[in-house]
Structure 1
Amino acid sequence: MMNLFKKSTLLCLALISLTSCFEDRDDNVVLASGINDFVWKGMNIFYLYKDEIPDLADDRFTSDADYGNYLNSFSSPESLFESLIFDRQVTDRFSFIVDDYIALEQSFAGTTKSNGLRYYFFSDPQNASKAILVIRQVVPGSPGATANLKRGQFITQIDGTDLTPENINSLLSPDSFTLHFANHNDNGTPETSDDSFTSNGTTVSLTKTVFTENPIHQSSIIDVNGTKIGYLLYNRFNSNFNQQLNTAFGTFKSNAIQDLVIDLRYNPGGSVDTARLLASMVTGQFSGQVFSKLVFNSTLESENINYEFVPSFDGTAINSLNLGKVYVLTTASSASASELLINSLKPYITVIQIGETTVGKTQASITIYDSPNFDQNNINPNHTYAMQPLVANSINVNDQAVPGTGLVPDTPLEERVLNLGVFGNVNEPLLAAAIANITGSGRYRPQSQIDAILMHVPEDESKMQDMFIDSDHAPFITRQHSFNN
């Protein structure tokens, strides 16, 4: 891996070759267009699909005036950024720009203002104009956990207002609100069309607080008739918790587990390097071999990166299990680094995917700042804009990418709002399916649609599907960035 000096030197060369035509116009352009100048130059250098966007061509502008007029034709940095995105609805669904990079950095580190609840919502079977919330996850250490709220609880009102598909996101937005809980009545039939949700009089008031989520929601060992199964519920590939992840695998290793279930059902992605470390913990027998590759645009193709399986990190030996098979639980919320883990492990070991088809995000991104080298050094103090564009494709050792349509499970199994179960419990449907496969105690049967209810994820929970390139591995960039969760 190139050292920082070499990275910086290459960046200077790249910037000189790509932006030398702007050297004489910078003073005028920045005064005229401000942030738009930063947006265009950053996208011109780093954007993965640069060659598909005529306005990003190196020879797009014939003069200073031509460039300045172009930048000034956009009403905002957001409108310029959006005009430079390739095939927004299909190919690049993930690049974004923010006006507060401090909040973005905190989010990538797992620090957010939240009450720790994650939800599904669905239409009331008795009145399609109304909606029902169900808690799908309560983050440990959060206000929701302190209030003793549980996965599977139903909510019909917030602050006394009935929920609808239209108001649910706005009602969940305030820092403080009161949840009104309800009981479910199946009316004695397996069909859901006659089900009802009636207030039980319980209310809980919550206030969002700023806290850092430990992505290791649960780590446990399940003994099923003498078969020791490790279970890891992992919510995000957060490099700040690599040591804790390794400790969890140390417990698995010391207890000589025979099989491992990694639950990524709500994991939107995160650090590419942490995905490589987790893969090295699962295996161990492939140290030094290529785990995953990142391929950049035609301008930066000399910076393509290989991520190898490793025996250690930060001076710490990895607790490797040397497994030849792993079970991974997924839903339609599993994205980016979660998909990278599955796709890049498959050439080496058997990966049994159980659950739902994943998001289908194969690309990586980095955070680009308005600074001379687009990193965190000498950032323009006049604003806090930053960009998170896709900059590389992730492929496995066989040059296979995650399909844009997502990774299809070997055992299809949807979560059901009326039977979410308890994480880590042998009867929780997705985990039960993995255990049945491991022990040979049963075989998968297609789910009945009789109790199926169409579920949705609130807007705020569906935004962050990321996979980021860490600072030690990003070309030119000297800080942790995102494989976009």
Structure 2
Amino acid sequence: MKIRKLLYFPLLGLLALTSLFSCGEDRWKEYYPLTGRDLWMDSLMREVYLWYEDIPAANSLNYFQAPDAFLKSILSKNDKGFSTVDSIMDTPLPSYGFDYTLYKVATSDTTYTALVSYVAKNSPAEDAGLERGNWIMLVDGDSITKKTEERLIDGGARTLRIGKYVIVKEENNGGTEGDTENGENEEEDKEVGIIQETGDVALPAVRPVTESAIYDTNFIQLEGTDYKIAYLAYNSFTAGTAEQSEKYNNELRAFSQECKQRGINNLVLDFRYNSGGEMECVQLLADILVPADKLENPFAFLQYNDKQSAQNRDLILDSQLLQGGVNLNLPTVYIITSGTTAGAAEMLINCLKPYMKVVLIGQTTKGEYVATETFINPKYPWAVRPVVCEVFNSNGEADYSAGFKPDIAINETSYLQYYLPLGEPDEILLHTALQVIAGIVELPTPKTGTAIVRSFTTQKNLRKGLIVK
């Protein structure tokens, strides 16, 4: 990864320090070790930040704050958490590698079940056999409560009692008013969802988990039709690793080759867990998808602040990026979205719209219409990623600050019997996409469960937002 290093802005730093001088006394040596990091961030932001004019005057700022608190104090109201600062980490954090959502047990106010919503590849959770759609009923033989829930994240080896969501018929034992003359009940048995135990799994202790950009693929032939459909769960616009800079891009190219060999004529992109990544990867995926006659056309325009206007530039649908991959010449792409679909994923949606039909299925996206860039000062173990430019499509449009609304809105937690591992044809959002392709959409009756209490998401080592390299 190419990282821009911006070390010092001496003049701006000196101006900011004037607020720290007392009665004309130069106290630089005393204060700089405590304030240098924040002063560097301040100077950087006043040069490259898209909304630098909104930064408060230096004499009103506190340069003794923690990095995240200081950054928050200078951000524009237009910045909805897009700009970030965090410590530089060389290795991923230890993790079990699964996310979950807590649901109340209907018969208790103090116990819960945990729906597994995501399982990382090559993680302790995958080793244990956990799958998306599993329900954790017990931890080490105990019910999940506010006290025992911490065992799901504390890092030790655990035994989990697993269940699955099934629909059963509940016999109607009502009064006689609904009975007919021959004694039969007019009211049919009610269908209800329950969690049925399936057994125990041994969850190993946490360890560092590194995730690939491509989570899963599948190839589906709709019976009785000529529809040959490829499915791609693409979780991060990341080109590769430190050791292999094009590793994930090459996997994407290989996927396009397999699609070509199989005669794929429809493609479903699953972005529900994609929170962004690198702009070059957006271009590559677009090159694979668009109609062939659109290659070499304008794709996007990057517009920086007036101090950095020399960096304003166009991006094109550059066929040279394919480098062993192939263009699939598709007229339509079907994209599964969620509230965490953001940044680079949204850029792809926006920039494809002038050239092909884009059908969105799921929930409204986050609404991250700007790009960030990474800056590191080697003196401090922190990276600052400010918003540096706005990203427009070839029609000059970037009007999705409220996110992209889906063409078919579906809350997958309303269909718990179809809350399945990604890539399974019966999984509710992929199933809906397949129906859209076939021209018939008949959603099953929602079966809502008990109230959601809260969700837990592990910190993933994936590229977020939309990053300029």
Paired with 1:167 and 1:82, the residues of 2 have a C-alpha distance of: 34
Whether the 8 Å CA contact 1:366–1:390 is kept in 2: the answer is: yes
Give how far 1:162 is off: 4.1
- Which residue number in structure 2 is paired with residue 354 of structure 1? 361
Whether the 8 Å CA contact 1:180–1:199 is kept in 2: the answer is: no
Paired with 2:308 and 2:370, the residues of 1 have a C-alpha distance of: 15
Q: What one-letter code is carried by the residue in structure 2 that aligns with 1:50?
A: Y
Which residue of 22, 45, 48 corresponds with 1:46? 48
Whether the 8 Å CA contact 1:153–1:181 is kept in 2: the answer is: no
Whether the 8 Å CA contact 2:211–2:461 is kept in 1: the answer is: no
Paired with 1:52 and 1:209, the residues of 2 have a C-alpha distance of: 42
Go from structure 1 to structure 2 and tell me whether the alpha carbon gap of 1:272 and 1:360 turns closer, same or farther (over 3 Å shift).
same
Paired with 1:384 and 1:167, the residues of 2 have a C-alpha distance of: 35
Cα deviation 1:304-354 (Å, max 9, x = unaligned): 2322211123x8243110111111111222222111111111111000111
Which residue of 102, 114, 132 corresponds with 2:89? 102
Give how far 1:397 is off: 1.7
Give how far 1:453 is off: 5.4
- Which residue number in structure 2 is paired with residue 311 of structure 1? 319
Q: What one-letter code is carried by the residue in structure 2 that aligns with 1:387?
A: V
**Tell me, what secondary structure is at the counterpart of 2:365?**
coil
Q: Superposed, which structure 2 residues align to 1:160-239 within 5 Å?
A: 162-164=143-145, 168=149, 170-183=150-163, 184=165, 188-189=169-170, 197=195, 202-224=200-222, 225=224, 226-239=226-239
Q: What one-letter code is carried by the residue in structure 1 that aligns with 2:219?
A: I
Q: What one-letter code is carried by the residue in structure 2 that aligns with 1:367?
A: T
Q: What one-letter code is carried by the residue in structure 1 that aligns with 2:427?
A: E
**Tell me, what secondary structure is at the counterpart of 1:256?**
coil
1:335 equivalent in alignment to 2:342 = yes
Give how far 1:282 is off: 0.7
- Which residue number in structure 2 is paired with residue 430 of structure 1? 429
Which residue of 279, 287, 298 corresponds with 1:280? 287
- Which residue number in structure 2 is paired with residue 374 of structure 1? none
Which residue of 138, 146, 151 corresponds with 2:132? 151
- Which residue number in structure 1 is paired with residue 75 of structure 2? 85
1:363 equivalent in alignment to 2:354 = no
1:457 equivalent in alignment to 2:455 = yes
Q: What one-letter code is carried by the residue in structure 2 that aligns with 1:304?
A: N
Which residue of 230, 255, 258 corresponds with 1:251? 258
Cα deviation 1:257-304 (Å, max 9, x = unaligned): 111111111111111210111011112432222222332233223322
Give how far 1:211 is off: 3.6
1:113 equivalent in alignment to 2:94 = yes
**Tell me, what secondary structure is at the counterpart of 2:89?**
helix
Which residue of 30, 36, 39 corresponds with 2:38? 36
Cα deviation 1:420-459 (Å, max 9, x = unaligned): 124323222211211112122x2245x7455255555315
Whether the 8 Å CA contact 2:301–2:392 is kept in 1: the answer is: yes
Q: Percent of pairs identical after alignment?
A: 24
Q: Superposed, which structure 2 residues align to 1:364-383 within 5 Å?
A: 364-370=371-377, 379-380=378-379, 383=380
Q: What one-letter code is carried by the residue in structure 2 that aligns with 1:256?
A: G
Go from structure 1 to structure 2 and tell me whether the alpha carbon gap of 1:247 and 1:41 turns closer, same or farther (over 3 Å shift).
same
Paired with 1:298 and 1:172, the residues of 2 have a C-alpha distance of: 49
Whether the 8 Å CA contact 2:167–2:417 is kept in 1: the answer is: no
Go from structure 1 to structure 2 and tell me whether the alpha carbon gap of 1:295 and 1:402 turns closer, same or farther (over 3 Å shift).
same
- Which residue number in structure 2 is paired with residue 321 of structure 1? 328
Question: What is the RMSD of the two structures over their aligned residues, measured on CA atoms?
Answer: 3.4
Paired with 1:212 and 1:26, the residues of 2 have a C-alpha distance of: 45
Go from structure 1 to structure 2 and tell me whether the alpha carbon gap of 1:432 and 1:201 turns closer, same or farther (over 3 Å shift).
closer
Q: What one-letter code is carried by the residue in structure 2 that aligns with 1:300?
A: Q
Go from structure 1 to structure 2 and tell me whether the alpha carbon gap of 1:358 and 1:266 turns closer, same or farther (over 3 Å shift).
same
Whether the 8 Å CA contact 1:293–1:395 is kept in 2: the answer is: yes
Q: Superposed, which structure 2 residues align to 1:405-416 within 5 Å?
A: 405-416=402-413
Q: What one-letter code is carried by the residue in structure 2 that aligns with 1:101?
A: I
Whether the 8 Å CA contact 2:125–2:203 is kept in 1: the answer is: no
- Which residue number in structure 2 is paired with residue 269 of structure 1? 276
Go from structure 1 to structure 2 and tell me whether the alpha carbon gap of 1:48 and 1:177 turns closer, same or farther (over 3 Å shift).
farther
Structure 1 residues not aligned, in runs of 5+: 62-66, 371-378, 472-485
Whether the 8 Å CA contact 2:249–2:281 is kept in 1: the answer is: yes
Give how far 1:408 is off: 0.8
Whether the 8 Å CA contact 1:368–1:388 is kept in 2: the answer is: yes
Whether the 8 Å CA contact 1:360–1:406 is kept in 2: the answer is: yes
1:419 equivalent in alignment to 2:442 = no
Cα deviation 1:331-386 (Å, max 9, x = unaligned): 2222221111111111110001111111222222222222xxxxxxxx11xx4122
Go from structure 1 to structure 2 and tell me whether the alpha carbon gap of 1:340 and 1:120 turns closer, same or farther (over 3 Å shift).
farther
Whether the 8 Å CA contact 2:270–2:336 is kept in 1: the answer is: yes
- Identify which range, 23-32 or 221-230, moves more after superposition: 23-32
Whether the 8 Å CA contact 2:236–2:462 is kept in 1: the answer is: no
Number of equivalent positions: 427
Give how far 1:165 is off: 6.9
Go from structure 1 to structure 2 and tell me whether the alpha carbon gap of 1:325 and 1:409 turns closer, same or farther (over 3 Å shift).
same
Give how far 1:83 is off: 0.9
**Tell me, what secondary structure is at the counterpart of 1:307?**
strand
